[in-house]
Structure 1
Amino acid sequence: MLKTLGLAVLAALIVLLLYAATRPDQFRVERSLRIEAPPERVFALIEDLKGFNTWNPYVRKDPAMKQRYGDVTRGPGAFYAWESKEVGVGSMKITEVQAPTRVTIALDFEQPFTAHNTAEFTLRPDGGGTQVTWAMHGPANFMSKLMGVFFDMDRMVGTDFEAGLVNLKTAAEAR
């Protein structure tokens, strides 16, 4: 009986690992929101990392977060790093800017796990406002595929993106 149970558990574990291995090698999380402000105003709050952190949902999760900015805080080469018990350790660097329609950021996480992803902000004029899309994509290694069997990363990260876009909307519309 114990041997049969052990074999059943082993078989279930093998099936789980095989299933995880078949999941996509890349991931993408994306959310959009319309903001009643011109693209230039919204762009300024994304392209300047100090402005970015006035609405960044992750900074709001941990007011005690240690933050460090590079010598450049806006445009290509702008750098920001954080250390937090709540949201981990990592850094971001703006790699590309197309004013006022796009900002691309290299996003590197050190803790709670190592990951190297890309964040993109796309701004599209929409009547008198701006349609803003916040996306993140990157490789999915085996551990992230396995975690994805149990946790919905799109929902977890997407919820933070939704909160951030609401914060951005509030900031941009208040100016």
Structure 2
Amino acid sequence: MGAFEVVRSTTIGADARVVHALVNDLHLWTAWSPWEDIDPGMERVHTGSPYGVGACYAWHGNRKAGAGSMQITSSQPERIELVLRFLKPFSTTNEVWFELLSVAGSTVVTWRMRGATSGLMSWLSPVIPMDRLVGRDFERGLAKLKKVAEGDPSPTGSP
């Protein structure tokens, strides 16, 4: 098993409370998550708290979307922590967190995921590191989060 960490950051021209609300409510992830458009027919189930600690989101989709769940385990103004469990296409559990730093009317958002590769992924990771597999998704998600937080109503940012 090999450990990995994927980290991406961006600066969003919005108050940290706006960004926090978009991350802290799993219902709102459909507006910015980079994986929401992989399978338009994906089944989504929300349980637990409506937002914050205890909020849970499970999905089951096509081969690309896979199946899994996430749960918010800690929610502070400057940091939101989640446990991310994948069931398909492979089984694994990862730690995910968002750090929010207010800087001169903007928010620096850092999205991190940490875990360990096992099974087939442990064989593939030296050739295709997890950062390469997931890093671009984080970049797309942060770009979408930025557009939503800054008030751009179009999903692509165009008029």
Give the deviation of 1:126 after TM superposition.
Answer: 1.4
More strand as a share of residues: 2
TM-score when normalising by structure 2: 0.90
Percent of aligned pairs sharing the same letter: 39
Residue deviations 1:99-154, cap 9 Å, x none? x2111000000000000001100000111100000110012225322111232320
Gaps of 5+ in 2: 153-159
Could you tell me which of 107, 119, 140 is aligned with 1:163?
140
1:113 aligns with 2:90: yes
Give the deviation of 1:27 after TM superposition.
Answer: 0.7
Alignment match, 2:54: 77
Amino acid at match of 2:117: A
Alignment match, 2:73: 95
Alignment match, 2:157: none
After TM superposition, list the pairs within 5 Å mapping 1:11-50 onto structure 2.
Answer: 25-50=2-27
Give the deviation of 1:63 after TM superposition.
Answer: 1.5
Aligned pairs, number: 151
Gaps of 5+ in 1: 1-23
Alignment match, 2:109: 132
Larger Rg: 1
Distance 2:20 2:30 in 1: 13
Deviates more, 1:52-61 or 1:107-116: 52-61
Give the deviation of 1:61 after TM superposition.
Answer: 1.9
Amino acid at match of 2:92: A
Pair 61,142 (structure 1): closer, same or farther in 2 beyond 3 Å: closer
Distance 2:66 2:84 in 1: 13
Alignment match, 1:61: 38
